[in-house]
Structure 1
Amino acid sequence: MNSRTDAAAATVTPSVGPAALVRRFVALCECVPHALIAFLGRFSIAAVFWQSGQTKVEGLAINLVAGEFTLGWPRLSDTAVFLFREEYRLPLIAPEIAAPLAAFAEHLFPLLLLLGLATRFSALALLVMTAVIQLLVYPGAYPTHGVWAAVLLYLLARGPGRLSLDHWIARRAGGA
């Protein structure tokens, strides 16, 4: 054998054995489309914040999964300001201001995420909210907040995927 044949033989990877199985598995995993991951991430994180927002309002209840629909004009619940005054205790912002702002944000940004509209902006807004909750309200809940942050950072970095209004708008504008 000459050196060229030896080098070629050394670079050929075996198609059987544990290493080949691992490579095939990794290749299969890499076939999962970004659009599916992004959609699942958008839906899941939107549900978390939407449900939290629903605890702060009365007169409007929408839960797609449970099939609960009470349509009406939303108003801040009696317990929302109390929670911000007694449990959450955010510095620098009065509970009477923080409660309606949080209720509004927990409805607006999840709705935008679900639609895939202003996705990166909405993910950033909810990431900031997650950081505030983690640092100032529930510092012991870092496993949960870490998962939220990971999903939001993914959406911030990679975008909403093809199944989104952002993608549709970008295509119409000639950007994607």
Structure 2
Amino acid sequence: MSLSRLHPPRPFHVLARLGGRVPDDLLLLAARLFPAAVFWQSGQTKLEGWRLAESAVELFRYEYRLPLLDPTLAATLAAIAEHLFPALLVLGLASRAAALALLGMTLVIEIFVYPAAWPTHGVWATLFLLTVARGPGAVSLDHLLARRWPVPALPR
């Protein structure tokens, strides 16, 4: 008689087996889409139609107070970045570069703007690092382009 008959699977083992069946490509897709939505929505708050909102400039001037950057320039760059890089992540195009750029923004937000929000920023950083390290997965334009034009492997 085998041990499996004497001891039914524990709930932890069942959950571990089920979790192991989640495709990596689904996880990589989620790691791109969810933080992209957060940054896109933030970018939307900086615009009034196609123009930069004065309220965005005021936030950078009086609340965020980033060193070395003019508030209008900072608000403009943030609005552009918060639309461009999330769009690239959703498409899965230049995903690693877009994730790296948003990781940089996350670090600036953490260090200079909202340091008390480190748990949220840590989650974003983890998802961006996953995308940088593992790539965007099969559900991406990067994957389709790599199949069409393979990139040679880096020497080890």
Q: Same fold (TM over 0.5)?
A: yes
* Structure 1 residue 143 displacement after superposition: 1.3
CA distance in 1, matches of 2:138, 2:16: 23
Alignment counterpart, residue 102 of structure 1, candidates 78, 85, 92: 78
> Which deviates more from structure 2 when the two are superposed, residues 150-159 or residues 119-128?
150-159
Does structure 2 retain, via aligned residues, the 8 Å contact 1:112–1:122?
yes
CA distance in 1, matches of 2:4, 2:133: 35
TM-score w.r.t. the length of structure 1 is: 0.79
Equivalent residue, structure 2, for 1:25? 15
The sequence identity of aligned pairs, in percent, is 57
The residue type equivalent to 2:32 in the other structure is: R
1:46 aligns with 2:36: yes
Give 1:9-158 correspondences, 5 Å limit: 14-16=3-5, 17=7, 22-59=12-49, 74-158=50-134
Is 1:162–2:152 an aligned residue pair? no
TM-score between the two structures when normalised by the length of structure 2: 0.89
Distance 1:129 1:14 in 2: 53
Q: How many residues align?
A: 150
Distance, in Å, in 2 between the alignment partners of 1:28 and 1:153 is: 25
Q: Distance in 2 between matches of 1:158 and 1:117?
A: 14
Report if aligned partners of 1:124, 1:152 keep a CA contact under 8 Å in 2. yes
CA contact 1:14–1:20 (8 Å) conserved in 2:
no
SS of alignment partner, residue 162 of structure 1: coil
Q: Which residue of 2 aligns with 1:9?
A: none
Residue 175 of structure 1: how far off its partner (Å):
4.5
What's the RMSD between the two structures over aligned residues?
Answer: 1.8
Q: CA deviation at 1:28?
A: 2.4
Q: RCO (CA 8 Å, sep 6+): is it higher in 1 or 2?
A: 2
Distance in 1, matches of 2:62 and 2:75, equals 12
Larger radius of gyration: 1
* Cα distance in 1, alignment partners of residues 14 and 45 from structure 2: 46
1: CA distance between counterparts of 2:86 and 2:38? 8
Structure 2: any 5+ residue segments left out of the alignment?
none
